[in-house]
Chain A
């Protein structure tokens, strides 16, 4: 009798173990993106924060939400690719800081768009320690913009390392351009250009 109970328990545990990780992981990836996007949209749609006079406050609060979910160091590392290895720790820190500021403005413009009607959470794929969550931004101008979030699991957390808008990867687009600048002139030139972009906003 004891043996049968033990066998049944073992089976149950096995079934749970087999089912649980995929089930939990499957909804988890979408859940974290949904949480971040909805929190950011709630700030953007807050009537008290509307209008250009609240732009700074609004953006600051959205950035806090984004920083919880985005891994900007990973984004920077992947964008610089092999040039990352040639940088000193100070240079890396500086680059992450500049690139983060640049990307926040870039991404903010995309989600602050007044043409946004709603955001739908469509689909997700999980492979090993990478997940992809597909969202669809419905606009008021008769178009749909697919935005994909690619995430990597760091310790116990999913962190965004790339955003793909209409099939165009943020990391890949800037990797190509940055590589061009570094190869045709220098890394210092890239830093200079980044600073100009940020202050030009």
Chain B
């Protein structure tokens, strides 16, 4: 069990009064009651709670309209294009392209790891970048993961703001870009300044949009079925996506 100080810091904040000794004995002695909440804040034995509140959604009518728009965009544009593309380009090449884009956006994740004082994450990402850019042939393969078991990290400025104590604010669904929050929208804009793709193509608006669209189509071609599953599993797809997205983001902030 590794000792991850920032993670413990959050847990300690949540516990507030928990003795340090109990925290140090990771996975150790089963202590006093209430320990369960440290692991699962949703652990509620008497069912008196409804769990953590969902994200505020005062823009729901607008968001539902955008959700509908994105849904149509997916089924009538993205998916057919991605299908055509995947019929021509073999899967290993598409996985390579996905990895290439993940590799060149290392500066975004690295900068945010440092801003969060998460030096372990910064180190991991740097190691991955060095290995995958060289051994991994410009990032098209992932030997860092496959040979050395160094797994990718996921950091962005929205998470950095969250780490600094900022809540998500209100929920917002952007056309094309999809679910976001007030905080993460700021994060998205800030991160674009650290994305090398934006610098290389800074004077070529059309090329930049083309590259972004290509990256998206490539991703969709590998993930066909994911959104369809979400829609099928949901009783109200809009609510499901909103809650799932919120949980996913807050979990990333905590990690």
Contact = CB atoms under 8 A, between A and B. Distances in A.
B54 A176 contact: yes
B125 interface: no
Contacts of A124: 27
Contacts of B155: none
Contact of B233 (A106, A126, A128): A106
B36 A130 contact: yes
Contacts of B30: 21, 25, 126-129
Interface string B21-48: 0000111111101011011101110011
A81 B49 contact: yes
A177 B236 contact: yes
29 contacts: A21-B30, A81-B50, A127-B35, A127-B39, A128-B30, A128-B33, A128-B36, A130-B39, A131-B39, A132-B39, A141-B91, A141-B222, A143-B98, A144-B151, A162-B40, A164-B251, A166-B251, A167-B249, A167-B250, A167-B251, A167-B252, A168-B248, A173-B247, A176-B54, A176-B239, A177-B234, A180-B236, A181-B235, A181-B236
A164 B41 CA distance: 13
B25 A136 contact: no
A85 B47 contact: yes
Interface residues of B, number: 51
A175 B244 CA distance: 12
Contacts of B151: 136, 144
A142 B252 contact: no
Interface string A118-158: 00000111111111100010001111100000100000000
Interface of A: 18, 21-22, 25-26, 77-78, 81-82, 84-85, 106, 109, 123-132, 136, 140-144, 150, 162, 164, 166-169, 171-181, 193, 197
A174 B235 CA distance: 8
B40 A142 contact: no
Contacts of B234: 177
B20 interface: no
Nearest to A126: B27
Interface of B: 1, 25-31, 33, 35-36, 38-40, 42-44, 47-52, 54, 91, 94-95, 98-99, 102, 142, 145, 151-152, 222-223, 229, 233-236, 239-240, 243-244, 247-252
Contact of B43 (A130, A140, A178): A130
A85 B28 CA distance: 34
Contacts of B95: 140-142
A137 to B, nearest CB: 12
A174 B51 CA distance: 12
Given A142-B99, A178-B235, A82 B48 contact: yes
Most interface-central of B25, B31, B222 (chain A CB within 10 A): B222
B152 A144 contact: yes
Contacts of B243: 172-173, 176-177
